[in-house]
Amino acid sequence: MKVVNVGLIGLGTVGTGTLRILQRNSQEITGRTGREITVTRVAVGDLNKQRDADLEGIVLSGDPMDIARDPAIDIVVEMIGGDDIAKEVVLEAIRHKKHVVTANKALIAVHGNEIFALAEKHNVAVTFEAAVAGGIPVIKAIREGLSANRIEWLAGIINGTCNYILTRMEQDGLGFAEVLSDAQALGYAEADPEFDVEGIDAAHKLTILASIAFGIPLQFDKLHIQGISEITIEDIEYAKELGFRIKHLGIARSSDAGIELRVHPAMVPVDRLIAGVNGVMNATLVQSDAVGPTLYYGAGAGAEPTGSAVVADIVDVVRSMGDIGENSGASPVPQLGFLPGSMPDRQIVPIEDVETAYYLRMKVINRPGVLAAITKIFGDSDISIATILQKSHGANNTEVTIIMLTQIALESNLNQAVTHIRKIDSVTSEIQSIRLENLA
């Protein structure tokens, strides 16, 4: 039996999980591939650090380029993260005709077009299932399982940190800052949480999903990105009263105007399956023309859930290799699901041209004519109001919180209306707006 030699670059949480699975399930993996898969080299940042992994027979290196250039290595598994050193290592591995498996969403979202072009030139595979939604095989499901379908839209809870924070805010009645502090103590959020809570991590993942779903180039720089730091417990309570739940979503939608790519908080009807996805769990809902809606749910992070996806990619690569050194080319499935040059580069719809419904919240002085002035501005901006709630507070009810749900409207029209409403003297607070997504 021929042996496939694997080099791991990075032995953090995911790297350790990957190594454990390869070692523990070696018999099953060999039965699925017909090959013995052996980790022979591992590159780490600190050679002296004690690690919770069985490293017997494995050569440790402090330089990831050692693995990228080692002629005995067949598959390089990159798990160091970021898009600087990781990019150089991956490109070097491809130049040395090695297949690459990565869990690095930033690398693929930002540099994937360049990486895939080089991989095609050198006839090697680059796989990245673990880059999106951890252990959920959503990339394979869209790229292969739904290949007979035209994808209409997808919406995903694809960042566990944001989902955990919003869940705790709703269930425990706590504010954003307090829950974020708890999430950091539990290890769900980093010491610097901006990457997660401001939507950048989810945007990297949505970039990849949209490219696979619609056959478009990876275009991270064209996404609309908004995080959850401005969501208040007030908004969560009013959403519940109105029959909605606030979730942080990545949304990609195909329309006659082009492709919408947006990451932001959204109010979702409570009876939608995705609205019930809580804690650190991930889920992606995909609407296709033939099969209809399909939902992919599971653990979006963690050592072994993400390691499971990495090992599944290794298995796919090994199955495609033929005899080692002979016909050991790339997988017959295109990296992003579509053959290069087979699909037109469709327009990315600017956020100002997106149409959706909205929730708005503002405080005003309780005096005659204020509500009429606000609704007139909406009417002048071609926005119809679906629901209005008023909540009186303050001494003698001198101040009122107004909550509105609009019908579907153009984002630029809403922005215009909000600009005019801010100029009304009786409006005493910032105007909170959250998009409504029916997902039906």
Judged against a pLDDT cut of 90, whether residue 392 lies above it is answered with no
Where do the structural domains in the chain lie, given as residue ranges?
Answer: 3-135+302-320, 138-299, 355-436
Angle (nearest 5°) at CA 391 between 386 and 397: 140
What does 345-365 look like in DSSP terms, one character per residue? -PPBPPGGG-EEEEEEEEEEE
Angle (nearest 5°) at CA 9 between 75 and 128: 60
Q: Which residues, other chains included, contact 145 with Cβ-Cβ below 8 Å and sequence gap of 6+?
A: none
- What was the pLDDT predicted at 63? 95
Question: Up-side HSE of residue 402: CA atoms within 13 Å toward CB?
Answer: 25
Q: Which residues are marked as active site?
A: 205
Same CATH topology for 3-135+302-320 and 138-299: the answer is no
Averaged pLDDT of the chain: 93
pTM above 0.85, yes or no: yes
Q: Write the class of the CATH domain 3-135+302-320.
A: alpha beta
Task: Give the residue, 99 or 323, on which the prediction is more confident.
Answer: 99
Q: Identify the band that residue 330 occupies on the pLDDT scale cut at 50, 70 and 90.
A: low
Q: What is the side-by-side order of every strand in the sheet holding 3-9?
A: 59-61, 36-43, 3-9, 75-78, 99-102, 126-127
Q: Which residues, other chains included, contact 326 with Cβ-Cβ below 8 Å and sequence gap of 6+?
A: none
Q: What is the mean pLDDT of residues 112-126?
A: 95
Q: What is the mean pLDDT of residues 323-328?
A: 50
Tell me the residue ranges of DSSP E strands in 184-243: 224-225
**Digit-coded pLDDT (tens) for 234-246:** 999 999 999 999 9
Q: Cα dist. 213→100, 349, 353 in Å?
A: 22, 16, 21
Judged against a pLDDT cut of 60, whether residue 339 lies above it is answered with yes
**Digit-coded pLDDT (tens) for 373-383:** 999 999 999 99
User: Above pLDDT 90, what percent of the chain?
Assistant: 83
Structure tokens at 92: 């070097």
Task: Give the residue, 149 or 2, on which the prediction is more confident.
Answer: 149
**Digit-coded pLDDT (tens) for 247-295:** 999 999 999 999 999 999 999 999 999 999 999 999 999 999 999 999 9
- What was the pLDDT predicted at 331? 65
Fold that domain 355-436 belongs to in CATH: Alpha-Beta Plaits (3.30.70)
- What was the pLDDT predicted at 189? 86
Residues in the chain: 440
For the domain bounded by 138-299, which CATH number is listed? Answer: 3.30.360.10
- What was the pLDDT predicted at 326? 45
**Digit-coded pLDDT (tens) for 35-78:** 999 999 999 988 888 888 899 999 999 999 999 999 999 999 99
Task: Give the residue, 326 or 300, on which the prediction is more confident.
Answer: 300
User: Above pLDDT 70, what percent of the chain?
Assistant: 97
Backbone angles phi, psi at 179, to 5 degrees: -70, -40
- Tokens 């209809």 sit on residue: 292
- What was the pLDDT predicted at 196? 95
Structure tokens at 125: 């595979």
Q: Identify the band that residue 327 occupies on the pLDDT scale cut at 50, 70 and 90.
A: very low
